[in-house]
Structure 1
Amino acid sequence: MKGLRINSYIFIFTIVVSVAWLAGCIQNDLPFPRIPQNIIAVAAVGESKQAYIDSIAFEVNLYLDETVDIENVNFSEYRITPGATSDPDLLEGTYDFSSPVYVTLSRFQDYDWKLIANQDIVRYFQVAGEVGESIVDPVGHRVIVNMPAGTDLANLTLQRVKLGPEGITSITPSLDPGPLDLSYPLRVVVACHGRYEYWTIYAQFTETIVSTTSVDAWSKVIWAYGNGPADVKNGFEYKKEGSEEWIPVPERYVSQTQGAFSCYIPHLDPLTKYAVRAVSGENIANEVQVTTQSTAVIPNGDFENWCQIGKIIFPYAEGGPEFWDTGNTGASTLGQNLTVSSEDTPTGSGLSAELTTKFVGIAGIGKLGAGSIFTGKFVKVDGTNGILDFGRPWNLRPTKLHGYYKYKTATIDYVSSEFASFKGRPDTCFIYVALTDWTAPYEIRTNPKNRNLFDPNASYVIGYGKMQYSGTMDDWQEFEIPISYRSTSKVPTYIQITAATSKYGDYFTGGNGAVLWVDQFSLGWDLDD
């Protein structure tokens, strides 16, 4: 009996230890949920435009006015995912953004965010008769002025100078418009925000009186850039391959800032070789030969091709190119298609796209859905939200988006917290086109917890144009959206075209019953006179 009791104790002890060990294993093996913690809103004091928040890359780009001290930046707004903590808290203290600043958002796991400050400070140094524009080097703290050979460098005329932020920068010795001696390097002290920079200003001779510095060929337009004396009439000439005649570019196409000048040459032929050269008075610059690009048609831009797969309606022929998509994949989870084909067209024949904003739900539970059509793909549903891939590969540079639209507005009756003040206003339709330098389709997320939307001010945008309307139209109207480019030399990699019944539909804000019809989308390639 004694041995039996001992064995029983051993058995019970073994069970207790085993259970405790097993419990420990179960407890340690349960992972914490991985929920990305996001910066929802951030605003620096003195910003020049709204910050761009990239919740995919965990990166924020701030845009500061040139007068802001980049080494002492304060914040007026900083909001993060509810329940998360931030180290540091940007609302406390000042921050040096001469290099990126990092913050860590924590809840279950840590998420490191990178904040970058962008600050464009306009600087110039202009001398009468210089060739081209003076080179202002803010990193090397130097200015280089190019003058025609034989110029008396001791008797130059300074026209204007700005080497730091407007109104808060001093230069010692003072540089005022008037006589300027650059026969020897001129050293000055530039002071701003209590810091001092030591600059050197040089003048040098150039044997080149006029030069064609660069030429960018689009499909039906060429852009040309040149340098020449500032006090001489400057311009450009061009000719088509095989022609002996040089054609002067009309003055209305030419613009000039001191000795730097540029032009655009419209009404050209696609896929054609041209030669372009700058001219300055009687002097002729080097020739640059280029070939214009092709033109292209937007696939299914007339919205004639549609198909239905299961319950979902798609804006392309079954088995055909999938250039466009809609939000129907998300709305169909509650039995709705918000974007469909319509026989209401501007010509009275064929099909158009009909986009509707309506509350999508069951028994009063759901969300407002805004009809939309976009270049890209609806990837998947995220709860009652969506994840999309924006953009289709594209390497041409159109000058405008052309098409037809008809709109019936509705009173905004559903709003998110960000746009609560919009309730009761007429809804607004929105159409835009963008050319970007994305390396892959751009992921869009509408979930407020990790929202990531298209930003026309982001650095990835090369060209952009938009239009909007908030009334009710009796009939179709033609539209044309000019595309503004930040650079004539950058070649895009993707095109993004979006039409939406409700401008703020991504925020589930709009008017139940608003309808937008669109048709006959095409791209323009020329520039008007």
Structure 2
Amino acid sequence: MNVFQLKFKSIALLGCLFSFFSCIENDIPYPYQEGNITDFAVEGQIDNSLSIDKAKGTVVVEVSDAVDITSLQIQKLQVSNSAHVAIDSSRCVDYENFPTVGFSSLDSLPKSADTRVDFTSPVSVLLQTYQDYPWTITVNQTINRTVVVSNQIGDPVIDVANKQVVVYVAKNQPLDQIKVTEMKLGGSVGVVVPDPTIITDFSRPQTFEVTRFGVTETWKVTVLHSDEESVATGNSFPMVHQIRVSGTIQVGKTPVIEYKEKSASDWQALSESSITIEGTTYTAFITGLKANTTYVYRTTVDGVAGNEEECTTASEVALTNGSFDDWYKDGNVWNPWSETGVSFWDTGNKGAATLGESNSVPTSDTSNGSGQAVKLESRFVGLLGIGKFAAGNIFTGSYVRTDGTNGVLSFGREFNTYPTGLKFQYKYNSETINKSGDSDYEYLLNRPDSMHIYVALTDMSEPYEIRTKKSDRQLFNKNDKSIIAYGEFISAETVTSYKEYTIQLDYRSYRKPKYIIIVASASKYGDFFTGGEGSTLYLDEMELLYE
């Protein structure tokens, strides 16, 4: 065969191969990788305000009134699966220099990057992996406007749309002798002209120019005599052994708050030192009350009593299996509830047991010599060096499923009352951190391991879903705006004998809870598969306090 024939046959063969492959449909599916925003921050962001809803593809934050939301700098935009970031170009101050990748801080970006965005309305962001994921980021800003004058009654009526304010004062206060002690119509950074402290005649409405970030508005302020009494009707929020009372009051006055059981005849008065007054608002706590009991309170100013208000305190609810006495074993998985009982607590045992034995187990080494306690041991689970570091843990909720070698958990059990603390007995052995399954946490290697226990009350609509897979990670956020109360205990100290400790709950707002979340781990960074082999936490006799 000559060279020409060989070349011809080779070309023919390539042609046949090309024709063959061209007939094969390109039906190989692209990998499925979600594009999620996992963390976010802007300048002036208010603590505990971040809310990320992956199901709806929304991010919502609140910022202080000291920042300009028409040119707000994004300080953190972390995304999953290295998704490409495509933000609405019309909302960027400098779209050409806005990053197209996620970032954990401004320091990680080139100096030329510009992350300023106009957030006066929701902003669209498209995250692109092999698929497209639309997101919406909303920044809410409340401009704290207030006016306080002499002998004022109640809060001012502020009409933002029409730039008008009405302030009510006592009937005996001359309208041409008004003393303005505070006027913030542009929030904390607004400039008001003329100086309101030198304007005293409000027998007719006064106008003021208010400038904020270069934008000037004209406001009208009217002062009128009030037909109301010195104290407006107050509000109450009953807890278990206390009632929070709040209301409005005339400037310069101090209320007298009295209370009694509904069936009692004698009133008791709160001490003046128990009442906090800020401007025209007062707040007080009536304490030392009985649980699940109806009380009546009233507020009196200058001898004039307001309406009697009735409210009922909440009940005490004991923590289910807080003694950790109830367990049963299913195969090689230990479960923290009786075989015929209903689960309240759960562990990561189902995940750890896929590669070894349970590492959250009952123990007869208890604080009082009876029953059971829980032993949470952190260790590497697997064979021949193949596996993962697993932190010993227990939590209120349920283990949902295993995603590869990662767990998906549900944090939270239904709960609707108001504990003030979480008390327990514990001891702990801290080992040196020698395992890290996440490159972002390798800096912790060779440091002492820490135990971590936290408790939270939340009013979110459903339990908190936890995912530990790095590309789809979603962990508990103690600053979530749904958190009503929170407390935690972190310690790297080795304690060889049982010791009592109480976590105090800090109430951030006064709303009714829907779920209680309690989590204990022998390794604080166990969610990132980082910790010390052999770190062990014992827990016993855990109970909720109501004080």
TM-score (normalizing by structure 1): 0.89
**CA–CA distance in 2 between the matches of 1:136 and 1:521?**
49
Superposed CA offset, 1:165-207 (max 9, x none)? 43x421122223x553332222222211122233232323132
Preserved contact between residue 52 and residue 455 of structure 1 (Cα < 8 Å): no
Give the match for residue 194 of structure 1: 214
1:111 to 133, 144, 165: 133
**CA–CA distance in 1 between the matches of 2:82 and 2:508?**
40
Kindly provide the amino acid, as one letter, of the partner of residue 72 in structure 1.
S
Are 1:100 and 2:98 matched, yes or no?
no
**CA–CA distance in 2 between the matches of 1:157 and 1:275?**
37
Are 1:226 and 2:247 matched, yes or no?
yes
**CA–CA distance in 2 between the matches of 1:194 and 1:470?**
51
Preserved contact between residue 38 and residue 449 of structure 1 (Cα < 8 Å): no
Preserved contact between residue 215 and residue 276 of structure 1 (Cα < 8 Å): no
Kindly provide the amino acid, as one letter, of the partner of residue 229 in structure 1.
Q
**CA–CA distance in 2 between the matches of 1:253 and 1:405?**
36
**Number of residues of Structure 1 aligned to a counterpart in Structure 2:** 504
The alpha-carbon deviation at position 135 of structure 1 amounts to: 4.3
The alpha-carbon deviation at position 160 of structure 1 amounts to: 2.3
**CA–CA distance in 1 between the matches of 2:343 and 2:218?**
58
| 1:120-519 alignment, distance < 5 Å | 120-136=142-158, 138=160, 141-166=163-188, 168-176=189-197, 180-204=200-224, 205-415=226-436, 416-488=438-510, 490-519=511-540
**CA–CA distance in 2 between the matches of 1:332 and 1:48?**
41
Superposed CA offset, 1:248-284 (max 9, x none)? 0123322111231111111111221110111223121
**CA–CA distance in 1 between the matches of 2:217 and 2:255?**
35
**CA–CA distance in 1 between the matches of 2:431 and 2:169?**
63
CA RMSD of aligned residues (A): 2.4
Going from structure 1 to structure 2, the CA distance change for 1:137 and 1:460 (only over 3 Å counts) comes to farther
The alpha-carbon deviation at position 83 of structure 1 amounts to: 4.7
State the secondary structure of the residue aligned to 1:419. Answer: helix
Kindly provide the amino acid, as one letter, of the partner of residue 167 in structure 2.
V
State the secondary structure of the residue aligned to 2:352. Answer: helix
The alpha-carbon deviation at position 325 of structure 1 amounts to: 0.4
**CA–CA distance in 2 between the matches of 1:81 and 1:345?**
43
The alpha-carbon deviation at position 378 of structure 1 amounts to: 0.5
The alpha-carbon deviation at position 514 of structure 1 amounts to: 1.0
Going from structure 1 to structure 2, the CA distance change for 1:387 and 1:38 (only over 3 Å counts) comes to same
Preserved contact between residue 402 and residue 523 of structure 1 (Cα < 8 Å): yes
**CA–CA distance in 1 between the matches of 2:82 and 2:535?**
36
- The percent of aligned pairs where both chains have the same amino acid is 34
**CA–CA distance in 2 between the matches of 1:80 and 1:277?**
53
**CA–CA distance in 1 between the matches of 2:366 and 2:115?**
59
Give the match for residue 74 of structure 1: 73
Going from structure 1 to structure 2, the CA distance change for 1:367 and 1:101 (only over 3 Å counts) comes to same
**CA–CA distance in 1 between the matches of 2:491 and 2:166?**
50
**CA–CA distance in 1 between the matches of 2:497 and 2:157?**
55
**CA–CA distance in 2 between the matches of 1:258 and 1:45?**
29
Going from structure 1 to structure 2, the CA distance change for 1:74 and 1:210 (only over 3 Å counts) comes to closer
Unaligned runs of 5+ in 2: 1-15, 88-97, 100-112
Give the match for residue 524 of structure 1: 545
The alpha-carbon deviation at position 431 of structure 1 amounts to: 1.2
Going from structure 1 to structure 2, the CA distance change for 1:160 and 1:427 (only over 3 Å counts) comes to same
**CA–CA distance in 2 between the matches of 1:35 and 1:186?**
60
Going from structure 1 to structure 2, the CA distance change for 1:203 and 1:481 (only over 3 Å counts) comes to farther
**CA–CA distance in 2 between the matches of 1:482 and 1:212?**
32
Kindly provide the amino acid, as one letter, of the partner of residue 478 in structure 1.
E
Preserved contact between residue 226 and residue 278 of structure 1 (Cα < 8 Å): no
Going from structure 1 to structure 2, the CA distance change for 1:225 and 1:112 (only over 3 Å counts) comes to same
Kindly provide the amino acid, as one letter, of the partner of residue 500 in structure 1.
S
Give the match for residue 4 of structure 1: none
Unaligned runs of 5+ in 1: 1-15
Going from structure 1 to structure 2, the CA distance change for 1:331 and 1:193 (only over 3 Å counts) comes to same
Preserved contact between residue 240 and residue 275 of structure 1 (Cα < 8 Å): yes
The alpha-carbon deviation at position 516 of structure 1 amounts to: 1.1
The alpha-carbon deviation at position 472 of structure 1 amounts to: 0.7
The alpha-carbon deviation at position 340 of structure 1 amounts to: 0.8
State the secondary structure of the residue aligned to 1:211. Answer: coil
State the secondary structure of the residue aligned to 2:318. Answer: coil
Preserved contact between residue 148 and residue 181 of structure 2 (Cα < 8 Å): yes
Preserved contact between residue 51 and residue 481 of structure 2 (Cα < 8 Å): no
Preserved contact between residue 55 and residue 450 of structure 1 (Cα < 8 Å): no
Kindly provide the amino acid, as one letter, of the partner of residue 34 in structure 2.
P
Preserved contact between residue 75 and residue 115 of structure 2 (Cα < 8 Å): no
Preserved contact between residue 212 and residue 224 of structure 1 (Cα < 8 Å): no
Preserved contact between residue 81 and residue 129 of structure 2 (Cα < 8 Å): no
| 1:54-93 alignment, distance < 5 Å | 54-88=53-87, 89-90=98-99, 92=114
State the secondary structure of the residue aligned to 1:475. Answer: strand
State the secondary structure of the residue aligned to 2:136. Answer: strand
Preserved contact between residue 229 and residue 280 of structure 1 (Cα < 8 Å): no
Give the match for residue 34 of structure 2: 36
**CA–CA distance in 2 between the matches of 1:319 and 1:511?**
35
Going from structure 1 to structure 2, the CA distance change for 1:286 and 1:46 (only over 3 Å counts) comes to closer
Superposed CA offset, 1:101-158 (max 9, x none)? 1111112211011212244544332223222343455555443322122321221212
The alpha-carbon deviation at position 93 of structure 1 amounts to: 5.1
Going from structure 1 to structure 2, the CA distance change for 1:63 and 1:209 (only over 3 Å counts) comes to closer
Going from structure 1 to structure 2, the CA distance change for 1:57 and 1:408 (only over 3 Å counts) comes to farther
**CA–CA distance in 1 between the matches of 2:157 and 2:378?**
54
The alpha-carbon deviation at position 512 of structure 1 amounts to: 1.7
